[in-house]
Structure 1
Amino acid sequence: MTSPDGDFDDKPGVTIRCRDNPSVGVTFRDRFSFDADSVHYAVELRAPGLTARVAEVVAWIWDSDLTTFLEGLVADYRGWDGERSWQTDDRDLRVSAVFRSGGHVGLTWAVRPWPQAAGGWSASVTTWLEAGEQMASLTADVRSFLTEERP
């Protein structure tokens, strides 16, 4: 499930919760831009015993963005073989998708700040969503978040 989210100061955000275990999730928040070429945002992962945050993921307007990747998954709601993946240019956010019987999509969200630095860290969680409406809702929510539209 996805939900437009807002913290106490009403900043926009999106939370994705796993349909199989709602304590597993991903939140996009704290979006800002310096110019018309990019949008910056934080990604938070959580699961029992895990909380991880990358404070500044950068999306460039000339790249194939996360929304485009998610739209492709929505279009193939009947399923696909193997794994599909997308990552930011800086490789600090990676999303992998698999399809399982019963019409469910597993999205593995992996964060790795400073991927070139020695001694860095990484974390990931997997959220399972229904391939139809839940994936379409996620895509619309992420698009709205990244483009500053309100649902």
Structure 2
Amino acid sequence: MTIPDAGTDDESGLTIRCRDDLTVSVRFSDRFSFDQDSVHYAVELEAPGLSARNDEVVAWVWDSDLVAFLEELATDFRGWSDARVWQNDERALMVSATFRPGGHVALTWTVRPRPWGSGGWSASVTTVLEAGEQMASLAADVRYFLAARPL
């Protein structure tokens, strides 16, 4: 389930919670742009014993689109066999989707520093959503979050 966060003035975020364990979440926040070519944002992963955040995820206009990936998953609500994977151009955010019995989609969200980042760490959590309507809602919420704002 996705929860648009109430923000202050022009700042808002988006939280994705696992339907099977509400303590597991992914939060998109702190969106900003330097120019018309990109949107920068933070992704935070939370689970019991885990808190990880990448402050510098970038969506480029020429990048493969996270929203299109999520919309395709929603369209294929009857399922698919192999894992489907999306990652941004700099591999700071990766999403792997698998279809589970009972009409559910497991999304494994992985964050890591950009290639020039230090430490060589990565962290992942898995959220489970209902195929179809919840996936379509997620795609729409991510589209709204990433929508370009006037500079």
**TM-score scaled by length of structure 2:** 0.93
Q: 1:21 to 1:10 in 2, by over 3 A?
A: farther
Tell me if structure 2 keeps the 8 A contact 1:114–1:120: no
Task: Give the 5 Å matches for 1:16-95.
Answer: 16-95=16-95
Task: Give the 5 Å matches for 1:7-18.
Answer: 7=7, 11-18=11-18
For the residue of structure 2 that corresponds to 1:77, the secondary structure is: coil
> Residue 6 of structure 1: CA displacement?
2.9
**1:47-94 deviation line (CA, Å, top 9, x unaligned):** 001110000100011222100110110110110001000001111100
Partner of 2:120: 120
Letter of the aligned partner of 2:89 in structure 1? D
Query: For the residues of structure 2 that align with 1:115 and 1:3, how far apart are their CA atoms?
Result: 30
Partner of 1:100: 100
Structure 1 unmatched ranges of 5 or more: none
Query: For the residues of structure 1 that align with 2:90 and 2:103, how far apart are their CA atoms?
Result: 32
Structure 2 unmatched ranges of 5 or more: none
> Residue 33 of structure 1: CA displacement?
0.4
Residue 146 of structure 2 corresponds to residue 146 of structure 1 = yes
Query: For the residues of structure 2 that align with 1:3 and 1:84, how far apart are their CA atoms?
Result: 24
Q: RMSD between aligned alpha carbons? A: 1.6
Tell me if structure 1 keeps the 8 A contact 2:64–2:89: no
Partner of 1:129: 129
> Residue 118 of structure 1: CA displacement?
6.0
* Percent identity of equivalent pairs: 68
